Structure 1
Amino acid sequence: MTDHPLNTGGDRGYLRIATEEAFATREQVDIYLRMIKDGTADKGMVSLWGFYAKSPSERAMTIMDRLLDLGERRIADMDRTGIDVGILALTSPGVQPMLDVAEARGVAQRANDYLAERCHAHPTRFVGMTAVAPQDPEWSAREIIRGAKELGFKGCQINSHTQGHYLDEPQFDPIIRALVEVDQPLYIHPSTLPDSMIAPLVEAGLDGAIFGFGVETGMHLLRLITTGIFDRYPTLQIMVGHMGEALPYWLYRLDYMHQAGVRSKRYERLKPLKKTIAEYMRSNVLVTNSGVAWEPAIKFCQQVVGEDRVMYAMDYPYEYEAYEVQAMDNMDMTPALKKKFFQSNAERWFKLDPAQYTPKVK
């Protein structure tokens, strides 16, 4: 493997569009700290944000500084690692743990307005995704439409469960309908685990990105698939990061056991579907490699989910490593496929206009 300069501008035949990049607002973080202090935070928030927002460690302090910057520092970091475009979303768990629904709506709306302003200030570098407060599904549906039609956003990120509730539950249907109406993808990002499942993971130090996030988010996507979300909304596209939260690698077993469960009528919620889980993964699920700069995993996912459905992400600022970008550049794949991975798949699914950021030939 060779090291090489990480330039923006497409000198390797493609631009690098990073599709799962996080930012925070000071208001959001201050509310997390208040909830931790007053005892209203769940165990997951205490574990995650009790570290990132309070620890004096170099990792925590650096990540906080980077999360709060949507200006020159972030662009300089992108330049250092050859990232042409960042697709930005309010960092997990967003406003979803907030118990005061009016407060949650306000924080999300102000974060969206701020992100839109920063995207307008740096239109060749930043693309936004809408933040919502699923505690209020009707308001969230309106905010998705506002994000798409007024703010110029290209998708919506929801950080998995909302206080232990999942998007397959009927009360969240307005959110799904709004996404279908504006024809934008839903990005399901991991969240802190609900109290109902966190105990054995947090005691082992496995509740976060190392394992617990993927377990919970993969389950969320499976709940949606197996309860027929794509039969009801066949045009809906759902994105997940971290190499599909492991689901592509379990597909054979998932399909076998799902079909066995349907035939046995063991579970009330498992009904016959129009397609297999693997078929939905190839028609309605999109995967980014955020945090998984690992060539074998990427190639396997391209093989089973489809070359048009796997996209690059860095997972900034939680994972910011120049050598990982170089490793992705050095993957043994055709130039056409590498361009799909880094650039054109993101342009297709987020409906980006390449003319906005493609370097002009002098």
Structure 2
Amino acid sequence: MNRTPKIALEEHFCAPGFDAYSAPYTRALPAEFVAKLDARLTDFDDQRLAEMDAGNIEYVVLSQTMPGVQAEADRDTAVRRARENNEFLVGRVSRHPQRFGAFAHVAMQDPNAAAKELERTVVEHGFKGAMINGHTLGRYYEGGAFDVFWERAQALGVPIYLHPNAFSHAPALLEGMPVLQGAAWGWGVETAGHALRLLFGGVFDRFPRLTLLLGHMGEALPYQRWRIDSRFAAYPSGIKLARKPSEYIGSNILITTSGVCSAPALLGAIGELGAQAVLFSVDYPYESTAEACNFIEDAPLDDRTRAQVCHGNARRLFKLGSPEDLALLQF
């Protein structure tokens, strides 16, 4: 029985024309599976809401499925299409404002434009932050050129969700092993590494109020905190940080349960980070809404902690208020 109200944060859609960006990731999949996936990604009114109702998911924050404009080679096209994506989402969210929120799609090919689009969508349309689908054509975001974007996110007080992308060039270790290059392993490694580049690149020291969200139970980073501290203390490689690396993971870096329905993993993450740093998510439509909801209901948590993970932390982070307040949201 799904008795606990839930808010979910890694819940994908696909805007018209954006399936072309996803084609390199889906062409190896069975056609019937892709057709079902496409139907779920483009549905906003029927199956999506029915599954939310069945799992007692009150509210989801929608985001463009990967890779979106992170795979666009032309900068101006990326900026234009990101805005088009966001305007499409405004229209879809407006049909169910009490159930849907939105993460902006931004073109990191142009950090200034990305910062402006983030601000526009947050201020004009009430977007809840942005989801970035990993690197942009092999470029990561710890350098000073991206500070304008991180500064704007901090000033607006909205989180940035860093979602996986495939490696731009597969490491030799993964060559010839497509199964390891994708979601089963490689994407998580890439995203964890990206988050660590931001951390060791000093982004959280320059912007100490910045919040980054990582899915998939934190891409395994919660379980590496001690090891990272230990080896960084021994081999800092000339890098100086204001705090131990582990102290950023759980404060600046929060995690969601998307795509990981494992009670031991959940308990380990809570043990490492504290329940205040863990937020429920599904990873719709790539994972089962029913399985994710049943997992969190059955996890060996006390009722207070379960409520905190399922919806309390999200209400605090996104300033959503009480369940009654959600029914009054306008978009």
TM range (shorter): over 0.9
Q: Which amino acid aligns with 1:286?
A: L
| Correspondence 1:169 to 2:143 | yes
Q: Give SS of 1:205's match.
A: helix
Q: What residue in structure 1 maps to residue 110 of structure 2? A: 136
Match of 1:326 among 291, 294, 304: 294
**What does 1:198-213 align with in structure 2 at a 5 Å threshold?**
200=174, 203-213=177-187
**What does 1:192-203 align with in structure 2 at a 5 Å threshold?**
192-197=166-171, 200=174, 203=177
Q: CA deviation at 1:285?
A: 1.0
Q: What residue in structure 2 maps to residue 27 of structure 1? A: 17
1:60 and 1:275 mapped to 2: Cα distance?
45
2:65 and 2:292 mapped to 1: Cα distance?
22
Q: Which amino acid aligns with 1:144?
A: L
| Correspondence 1:56 to 2:46 | no
Contact 1:141 1:178 in 2 (8 A): yes
Q: CA deviation at 1:358?
A: 5.6
Q: Which amino acid aligns with 2:31?
A: P
Q: Which amino acid aligns with 1:314?
A: V
1:73 and 1:338 mapped to 2: Cα distance?
26
Distance 1:333 1:132, change over 3 A: same
2:185 and 2:141 mapped to 1: Cα distance?
21
Contact 1:67 1:317 in 2 (8 A): yes
Task: Please identify runs of 4+ aligned residues in structure 1 that moved more than 4 A.
Answer: none
1:199 and 1:175 mapped to 2: Cα distance?
33
Q: CA deviation at 1:303?
A: 1.4
Q: CA deviation at 1:198?
A: 7.5
Contact 1:130 1:153 in 2 (8 A): yes
Q: CA deviation at 1:159?
A: 1.1
Contact 2:159 2:210 in 1 (8 A): yes
When the two chains are superposed, the root-mean-square deviation of aligned CA atoms in Å is 1.8
Q: Which amino acid aligns with 2:321?
A: D
Distance 1:160 1:30, change over 3 A: closer
| Correspondence 1:67 to 2:41 | yes
Distance 1:51 1:152, change over 3 A: farther
**What does 1:191-270 align with in structure 2 at a 5 Å threshold?**
191-197=165-171, 200=174, 203-262=177-236, 267=237, 270=238
Match of 1:18 among 8, 27, 34: 8
Distance 1:304 1:358, change over 3 A: farther
Q: What residue in structure 2 maps to residue 282 of structure 1? A: 250
Contact 2:15 2:42 in 1 (8 A): yes
Q: Which amino acid aligns with 1:56?
A: A
2:124 and 2:326 mapped to 1: Cα distance?
20
Q: Which amino acid aligns with 1:312?
A: F
Q: Which amino acid aligns with 2:208?
A: P
Q: Give SS of 2:282's match.
A: coil
Q: Give SS of 2:151's match.
A: helix
Q: TM-score, normalised by structure 1?
A: 0.86
| Correspondence 1:357 to 2:316 | no
2:302 and 2:77 mapped to 1: Cα distance?
49
2:21 and 2:259 mapped to 1: Cα distance?
27
Q: Give SS of 2:69's match.
A: coil
Q: Which amino acid aligns with 1:347?
A: R
Deviations 1:39-82 (A, max 9, x none): xxxxxxx2x13246xx413x322111111122223212322333
Stretches of structure 2 that go unaligned for 5 or more consecutive residues are: none
> Which has more radius of gyration?
1
Distance 1:305 1:347, change over 3 A: same
Match of 1:127 among 101, 124, 142: 101
Q: What residue in structure 1 maps to residue 161 of structure 2? A: 187
Q: What residue in structure 1 maps to residue 88 of structure 2? A: 114
Contact 1:113 1:151 in 2 (8 A): no
Match of 2:285 among 307, 317, 325: 317
Aligned length: 327
Q: Which amino acid aligns with 2:5?
A: L
Deviations 1:263-305 (A, max 9, x none): xxxx3xx412111111111321100010001111111111111
Q: Which amino acid aligns with 1:193?
A: F
Distance 1:153 1:202, change over 3 A: farther
Stretches of structure 1 that go unaligned for 5 or more consecutive residues are: 7-11, 34-45
Q: CA deviation at 1:236?
A: 0.5
2:318 and 2:120 mapped to 1: Cα distance?
16
Q: CA deviation at 1:356?
A: 3.3
Distance 1:15 1:165, change over 3 A: same
